[in-house]
Structure 1
Amino acid sequence: MRHLALLVLGLVTLPAMALTNVDLYRSEVVLDQAAKNADAQARIEGMKEVIVRASGDRNAVTNEVVKKALNQSSQYLAQLSYGQMGEAQTLRMGFSAPHIRSLLSQAQLPVWPAARANILVWLVEEQTDRNIIWEHSPSAVLEQLKGQADKRGLPLTVPVGDFDDITGVAVSDLWGGFVQPVGEASQRYLVDAVLVVKAQGNTLRWTLYDQKPATIGVTRQAPLSGSNNGEDAAVKMVNQLSDYYAKKNAVVVANESSEAIKVRFTELSDAVGFFTLENKLKKLSSVASIDILKIQGNQVTFNVHLLSSPEEFKQEVLRAGPIKQLESVVETPVVAIPEPTEPTLEVTPESAQGAVESNAQPTDESTPLESANTPTAPLVPAEQILVYEWQGKPYVYVAPAIEGEIVITPDVTENEAEPAVQ
């Protein structure tokens, strides 16, 4: 009994942390049995869903780096199995969290953390009468709302509809926008925000109180509101709410490629060749991004961030042409060694007397003082650099013909010159 009391006391004293951890990296897609490569298409669709959920950005799948990665979706998979959704077969996928986060950073897309605000949804539908839709109520709007919220990774809580809910708030309170009773009825749920939705046919009007229920009607924080129309009105509403929270909480992390290699190209004699080569590298499906490290003479060294293995990159580079592979080189980065500094000693009568006495005794050539001030070079590992020769033809400028230009030949005097073009 004493242990039970301690447990209850611990639960009471714990802070009410309502943030919900969303499983960002799992998806389930119905297989199109009529498609030629049903599994491959399902993997791509599942990866798109994960990228949108993890980034909070609906347009993330149009990013050039992401589009390359989608063609290599199997490299991002961690788990794969088949399931059933009604009579349709599905493909269940679990993607590697580190690989997806690395991809988002390579594409310079935001990352919406998995700990997300939990929203309590009070849904009222007007049909013959106005009714509150509870957690297990049959409602097409509620099902659509839940399905889209799951895709976007937006945690929702729907009231269970027990005695406390039924007696705690009335339909007229929700429909009329009476804040005080809505806030009081919502306090029994550990949520971060409260959403009131009024459905009339294909029209949804909603109000979001982005605050703890206990502060609704107490503080002067203004709610957010909107309306959506059409058969997919609930989908539109969830997208707007997800975009709002993603913009509020998502961050763009530093570019951390899962793997990068250094590549040097020689025989780049003009700017046209350099830009042609740079564009070829950026278009390779194995390349996420490139950084220019050094340009010296007719050579340029890149740091290439990879989406796949170095072997695949090497094959793609040679296929891109006109490029010839040379022998790789190993270089050790040059590190500047600071010059030795002379120690500064403060001379006092006592130290001067000690110095005179020490001069009378033989000393070791290397004293602790000298070794402490002798700079040492830091250990820097050697780096392998892939080397290629650019074999593109040098750019030759051809001046365009100018209408009315006078052409003079050795057989024609200046006075006899005729316009070449009439």
Structure 2
Amino acid sequence: MLRIALLFLALLALPLKAATVTNLYQAQVALPDTDRQSEQAARRQALEQVLIKVSGQSNIVENEVVAKALGSSNQYVSQFSYANLDGQRTLQLTFDRSRIRTLLTQANSTFWSEKRPNVLVWLVEDANRSRNIVWDQANNDLANRIKDDAERRGVPVMMPIGDFEDVTAISTPDIWGGFVQPIATASQRYQPQAVLIVRARQQGGEQLAINWQLYTGNVEQLGRNQVAPSEGRSSGEAVTSVAQMVDSVADILGAKYAVPLGGDTSGQLAVVVENIHSSKDFFTLERLLTNLTSVAAVNAYRIQGDRVEFSVQLLSTEEAFQRELSQDRRLSAVAAPQEEQLEPAPQLEGVIGTTTVPAQPASLEQLGDEQPSDAEPVVITPAKQAAVFSWSSSAPVSTSVAL
């Protein structure tokens, strides 16, 4: 079929995916003894770690449904093995994705997919009366702790590399003083979805005081002072202080990007996307919508010129769908003219997926405008319109990140 041929051609030119975390359903925990009780405790701890990563909530274990499930962790395990880490015997576990999601749905919790925002960390360490920016290649103990805790929470982080471009764009006082403009300018090259500014002061021994700010969203908005940061402080032993900061940051990001499961949903939405000029654009956009965690099904029911109209069946709330959709930089919201609001149509142009597409259309417009002579009239009553978006296939997309 022509549709399959077009899909194959589009697959050959897929854009890079957004940051993808690959170890959400895996955990490695210490196994101090070989008795059955110690192993069961380790399995419970591993399930806690995975549920926290997947839900985006550090307090998920306080949920009554989850707390009960922790007592029977074995039913969620799909694979396990034993290993050694720094001389300590460990238990490595992989949990079943579908069962974890079912549990979170039963708990009316949230689900944070593998697609997650890249977080750029600007870290200044104040030690021995000297303040310095910590670069990625420095093998710094504090930076390594941040990376390890971020991996524990399933948050992809990156440190600036510290080359000539970095050192000429930003200085230690810029970061310590929290000056937004130079931080935004220096962050541009990394195209992060969030920027974390960390000021860490050594207080003797292993004691550490941390002051942090988290900016989420577009870096350009950060540079225009249009984004207010989330802020926090933690102090005490370095291990505890860093863990508290990362947990707070992960909870904030989880609250922003995770999708609510269970409860009422908003049903069906009509989504309009403009500036679609090729079959490649169309299939890329269709896959994008279909792969969203908040989406159950997608049907492209009308093509008019460079404008495609989709009917989207939701698994979650409309707010969760809009929030998830906004993560992709190739889509930008535009105002819908009042006279173009969607209305039920007795005969749709270019029905895709419900009628036969004519052979070898010369363009996407022809694919949309030519209706097969034997096609039956299709009546679809779209739900309310969610938004109108403009598509840009040249917008930057984050690369995959394996934690």
Q: Which amino acid aligns with 2:231?
A: S
The DSSP-based 3-state class of the residue aligned with 1:237 is: helix
Alignment of 1:297-308 (within 5 A): none
1:49 CA displacement: 0.5
Residues in 1 aligned to 2:233 and 2:106: alpha-carbon distance in whole angstroms: 36
| 1:233 equivalent in structure 2 | 241
The DSSP-based 3-state class of the residue aligned with 2:90 is: strand
1:67 CA displacement: 2.7
1:251 to 244, 259, 275: 259
1:254 CA displacement: 2.8
Percentage identity across paired residues of the two chains:
39
| 2:297 equivalent in structure 1 | none
1:160 CA displacement: 2.2
Alignment of 1:25-64 (within 5 A): 25-33=25-33, 37-64=37-64
1:242 to 250, 257, 266: 250
Alignment of 1:236-385 (within 5 A): 236-254=244-262
Query: Contact conserved, 2:185 with 2:223, CA < 8 A, in 1?
Result: no
1:34 CA displacement: 6.7
Alignment of 1:6-25 (within 5 A): 18-25=18-25
Q: CA RMSD in A?
A: 2.4
Residues in 2 aligned to 1:172 and 1:17: alpha-carbon distance in whole angstroms: 35
| 1:291 equivalent in structure 2 | none
The DSSP-based 3-state class of the residue aligned with 1:104 is: helix
Q: Which amino acid aligns with 2:169?
A: G
1:33 CA displacement: 2.0
Residues in 2 aligned to 1:226 and 1:110: alpha-carbon distance in whole angstroms: 24
Query: Contact conserved, 1:19 with 1:192, CA < 8 A, in 2?
Result: no
Residues in 2 aligned to 1:27 and 1:192: alpha-carbon distance in whole angstroms: 26
Residues in 2 aligned to 1:241 and 1:154: alpha-carbon distance in whole angstroms: 9
| 1:223 equivalent in structure 2 | 229
| 1:93 equivalent in structure 2 | 93
Residues 344-398 of structure 1: CA distance to partner in whole angstroms, max 9, x if unpaired? xxxxxxxxxxxxxxxxxxxxxxxxxxxxxxxxxxxxxxxxxxxxxxxxxxxxxxx
The DSSP-based 3-state class of the residue aligned with 2:260 is: coil
| 1:151 equivalent in structure 2 | 152
The DSSP-based 3-state class of the residue aligned with 1:136 is: helix
1:35 CA displacement: 5.5
1:255 CA displacement: 7.0
1:36 CA displacement: 5.1
Q: How many residues are aligned here? A: 244
TM-score scaled by length of structure 1: 0.54
Cα 1:137/1:76, change in 2 over 3 Å:
same
Query: Contact conserved, 1:18 with 1:190, CA < 8 A, in 2?
Result: no
| 2:65 equivalent in structure 1 | 65
Residues in 1 aligned to 2:79 and 2:167: alpha-carbon distance in whole angstroms: 43
Alignment of 1:140-179 (within 5 A): 140-179=141-180
Larger radius of gyration: 1
1:130 CA displacement: 0.8
Cα 1:126/1:224, change in 2 over 3 Å:
same
Query: Contact conserved, 1:18 with 1:191, CA < 8 A, in 2?
Result: no
| 1:194 equivalent in structure 2 | 195
Q: Which amino acid aligns with 1:111?
A: F
Query: Contact conserved, 1:106 with 1:255, CA < 8 A, in 2?
Result: no
Q: Which amino acid aligns with 1:236?
A: Q
Which range is displaced more, 125-134 or 138-147? 138-147
Query: Contact conserved, 2:180 with 2:225, CA < 8 A, in 1?
Result: no
Residues in 2 aligned to 1:238 and 1:204: alpha-carbon distance in whole angstroms: 11
In the alignment, structure 1 segments of 5+ residues that lack a partner are 1-12, 257-422
Which range is displaced more, 18-27 or 171-180? 18-27
The DSSP-based 3-state class of the residue aligned with 1:230 is: strand
Q: Which amino acid aligns with 1:206?
A: W
In the alignment, structure 2 segments of 5+ residues that lack a partner are 1-12, 203-207, 265-403
Residues in 2 aligned to 1:54 and 1:166: alpha-carbon distance in whole angstroms: 36
| 1:211 equivalent in structure 2 | 217
Residues in 1 aligned to 2:94 and 2:30: alpha-carbon distance in whole angstroms: 15
Query: Contact conserved, 1:17 with 1:190, CA < 8 A, in 2?
Result: no
Residues 215-246 of structure 1: CA distance to partner in whole angstroms, max 9, x if unpaired? 32225222222222111221111111111111
Residues 122-174 of structure 1: CA distance to partner in whole angstroms, max 9, x if unpaired? 10001131111122324332232222211221221111223332333211221
Cα 1:76/1:124, change in 2 over 3 Å:
same
The DSSP-based 3-state class of the residue aligned with 1:20 is: coil
Residues 184-229 of structure 1: CA distance to partner in whole angstroms, max 9, x if unpaired? 1111113101111111121111122213333322252222222221
Query: Contact conserved, 1:174 with 1:196, CA < 8 A, in 2?
Result: yes
Query: Contact conserved, 2:107 with 2:262, CA < 8 A, in 1?
Result: no
Query: Contact conserved, 2:18 with 2:115, CA < 8 A, in 1?
Result: no
TM-score scaled by length of structure 2: 0.56
Residues in 2 aligned to 1:236 and 1:71: alpha-carbon distance in whole angstroms: 26
Residues in 2 aligned to 1:141 and 1:51: alpha-carbon distance in whole angstroms: 26
Q: Which amino acid aligns with 2:101?
A: R
| Moved segments of 4+, more than 3 Å | 13-22
Cα 1:211/1:110, change in 2 over 3 Å:
closer
Residues 112-131 of structure 1: CA distance to partner in whole angstroms, max 9, x if unpaired? 22211111001000113111
Q: Which amino acid aligns with 1:224?
A: S
Cα 1:35/1:229, change in 2 over 3 Å:
farther
Cα 1:121/1:36, change in 2 over 3 Å:
same
Residues in 2 aligned to 1:99 and 1:131: alpha-carbon distance in whole angstroms: 46
Residues in 2 aligned to 1:108 and 1:100: alpha-carbon distance in whole angstroms: 12
Q: Which amino acid aligns with 1:218?
A: R
Query: Contact conserved, 2:21 with 2:154, CA < 8 A, in 1?
Result: no
